[in-house]
Structure 1
Amino acid sequence: MTAIEIPAAVQTFIEATNRGDAEAFAAAFTHDAYLDDWGRVYRGRDGVRAWDRTDNIGVQAHFELNAIEPGPASYTSSHTSSHTCVATLTVTGNGHNGTGAMTFGLRDGLIASLRITP
């Protein structure tokens, strides 16, 4: 795959996490966002905030972007996205640590869906 320019919402997702800014983090998502973290599903900005408290900023997560590529053409979810991208991130902090892919569905300049899979 070919690397792409990092979408602004994904950049905000990373930067807000790294500086511990929960409001900016949640604002990077659409109001009807869908977040799937290894099968644990969260919906809407309230769901995103809940995940953020337990699995992200709440455990002092820090992201390092390793690569970003166009997402799969066959990507589908209950929230239609304008386009997708796959970011490979290294995560450190007091929760999950490791490197893996996150698939972002983007709509209207915001994150409409996020899938984190093993």
Structure 2
Amino acid sequence: MDDLTLPSAITNFIAATNAGDSQRFVAQFTPDAVLNDWGTEYHGPTEIANWNQTDNIGKQSHFELQDFTRDDATTWTVQLVVTGNGFNGTSPFRMTIKDNRLANVTILPD
């Protein structure tokens, strides 16, 4: 793992999911954020909250940080091991930070 520290929006994204805290989870995103889950896009807090209920906390997902890299000044790729009642496996999450919040999260097929 890099010696760099992950931004709090990313660590909160992981912690909120693991705690089952939907309000904290959605609060990590900017008002105009986009979450892209293997090609399907969710725009803004309402759509992201819906995705969270159908595909993340609503499925009792748990994230274990495996590795991460800093791609540029605002973008990180985080390797997460995902377990729960939905997708199970390792997946890269590309996350862009703006104003200390998540502006874009793209979940990539491994």
Q: Which runs of 4+ in 1 moved over 3 A?
A: none
| Counterpart secondary structure, 1:68 | strand
Partner of 1:84: 75
Residue type of the alignment partner of 2:67: A
Point out where structure 2 has 5 or more consecutive residues left out of the alignment: none
Q: CA deviation at 1:67?
A: 1.0
Residue type of the alignment partner of 1:20: G
Partner of 1:76: none
Does residue 105 of the first structure (1) align with residue 75 of the second (2)?
no
Partner of 1:77: none
1:24-70 Cα distance to aligned partner (Å, 9 max, x none): 00000001100100011000011110110010000000000011111
1:39 and 1:3 map into 2 onto residues whose CA distance is 31
CA contact (8 A) 1:37 1:116 kept: yes
Over 3 Å counting, the alpha-carbon distance change for 1:59 and 1:101 in structure 2 is same
2:70 and 2:56 map into 1 onto residues whose CA distance is 24
Q: Identity over the aligned pairs, expressed in percent?
A: 43
Point out where structure 1 has 5 or more consecutive residues left out of the alignment: 74-81
CA contact (8 A) 1:87 1:102 kept: yes
Partner of 2:65: 65
Residue type of the alignment partner of 2:38: W
Q: CA deviation at 1:15?
A: 0.4
TM-score, normalised to structure 1's length? 0.88
* Equivalences for residues 46-61 of structure 1 within 5 A: 46-61=46-61
Over 3 Å counting, the alpha-carbon distance change for 1:3 and 1:39 in structure 2 is farther
- RMSD, aligned α-carbons: 1.3
| Counterpart secondary structure, 1:58 | helix
